[in-house]
Structure 1
Amino acid sequence: MPAAATPAGHPLAVPPSLAATAPAPAAAEDVPLFQALEWLDGAPESRDGYSREKFKHWNKGLDPTDGCDTRREVILSEAKLAPEVGARCALSGGRWFSEYDQVWVTSASSLDVDHMVPLAEAWDSGASAWTPARREAYANDQGAAASLIAVSGSSNRSKSDKDPADWLPTDAYRCEYASAWTATKLRWQLPADPAERDALTRLAEACPDTTVAYEQVPL
């Protein structure tokens, strides 16, 4: 875990009492949420020096030749009814379901592509120590379905940069949200602060059948 390599005295150093009960494996599938939470290190957070510009997004996406950036590629991949794709990846028509607020969206321009674990939260949790290349990879991560999600602009503004201690989606999506949040933290080897861990534990109690799957991005 990144925090284990942090020099003593660093603001994000992990005290022994907050260390995970067991090291997280490099990959896991269908792991009970309770077990996955045991793999999350705990750490205090620091937003010193943060700005969104330190996470390059959106980049040219998975196919640099298709004219679609990461944002539009995610929107296309999550469409329930595919839109028409015009010049420079202009999108028209289509239909999407915004999981955060459980509403249908019929205009791509009304969608935001949200980072499941917000950029500011990632920074607070240790991404401040990453290279610019790793932060760009995080901000444009299409390697895991949990990392990015197309949702209504209003629900994304409501969430902003909050973690599960301060914001949750509508009840119908909370179990999946807890799974996706935990998977993203484990994928990128990011710790959780105490309030965040408490909130995730309460969600695990309410979601006994929820599982987590992830594959770490090597440091």
Structure 2
Amino acid sequence: MNDAASALDSLRVSPRPPAQSDYRRAAFGTSWSDTDGNGCNQRDDVLQRDAVPGSLRVGEQGRCDHDVLAGRWVDPYSGADLELDDLKDRSQAQAVQVDHVVPLAEAWVSGARGWSDERRRLFANDLEELLAVSGRVNASKGSGDPAAWRPRKAYQCSYARKWIATKQRWDLAVDPSEVRALREMLAFC
């Protein structure tokens, strides 16, 4: 916890800005680029990384050797078990989603508005801040920060650490209510 608490203390704190009507998802580029150059988009990379070992079924698509077709995931936010047998079926694909721990809209108001298009695209595809989660839980989280939304208690320490590391790595600001919520979650470490 000490490292995360120290990192939290090092973040730039600024007042929560008013709702931003100028946020555009498109400012972060098209969804799921191949920013690491392995031939697969970041969604497939995250689904492969976060799958329960031994559960994944993949195929090839273009240059991608791990186009994820089926598997099992445990949503870290809720603990829900997600076992899906056909991710080419839209309803199943929606059941397991790739979440931006720090949502794009939150990044926008925390400093990404002033970034270049390329920096925003890289942020949106940063594997260190992406997680495979339940689609239902991801929808409930929306663009909420830790003051507005929290995962189950057993994951709050990990979530706070990941949030803080992302904000620090990308030089994004935090607001006072966000800091309070993150300190509360770090108490579970």
Corresponding position of 2:149: 167
Corresponding position of 2:5: 34
Residue 135 of structure 1 aligns with an amino acid whose one-letter code is R
Alignment partner of 2:42 out of 70, 79, 82: 70
**Partner Cα separation in structure 2 for residue 103 and residue 72 of structure 1:** 20
Alignment partner of 1:55 out of 24, 28, 40: 28
After TM superposition, give the deviation of residue 91 of structure 1 in Å: 3.0
Q: SS in structure 2 opposite 1:100? A: coil
**Partner Cα separation in structure 1 for residue 25 and residue 81 of structure 2:** 28
TM-score normalised to the size of structure 2? 0.84
Corresponding position of 2:90: none
Q: SS in structure 1 opposite 2:71? A: coil
Is 1:157 the counterpart of 2:134? The answer is no
**Partner Cα separation in structure 1 for residue 35 and residue 112 of structure 2:** 21
**Partner Cα separation in structure 1 for residue 105 and residue 70 of structure 2:** 32
Runs of 4+ in 1 over 4 A off after TM superposition: none
Number of aligned positions between the proteins: 173
Alignment partner of 1:176 out of 158, 161, 179: 158
**Partner Cα separation in structure 2 for residue 141 and residue 91 of structure 1:** 19
Q: List gaps (5 residues or longer) in structure 1.
A: 1-29, 211-219
TM-score normalised to the size of structure 1? 0.73
Corresponding position of 2:75: 98
After TM superposition, give the deviation of residue 93 of structure 1 in Å: 2.6
Residue 57 of structure 2 aligns with an amino acid whose one-letter code is P
Is 1:85 the counterpart of 2:59? The answer is yes
Is 1:141 the counterpart of 2:126? The answer is yes
Deviations, residues 120-139 of structure 1 (Å, cap 9, x unaligned): 00001010000001000000
After TM superposition, give the deviation of residue 197 of structure 1 in Å: 0.9
Please provide the CA RMSD for this pair. 1.8
Alignment partner of 2:110 out of 125, 130, 143: 125
Q: Percent identity?
A: 39
Q: SS in structure 1 opposite 2:99? A: strand
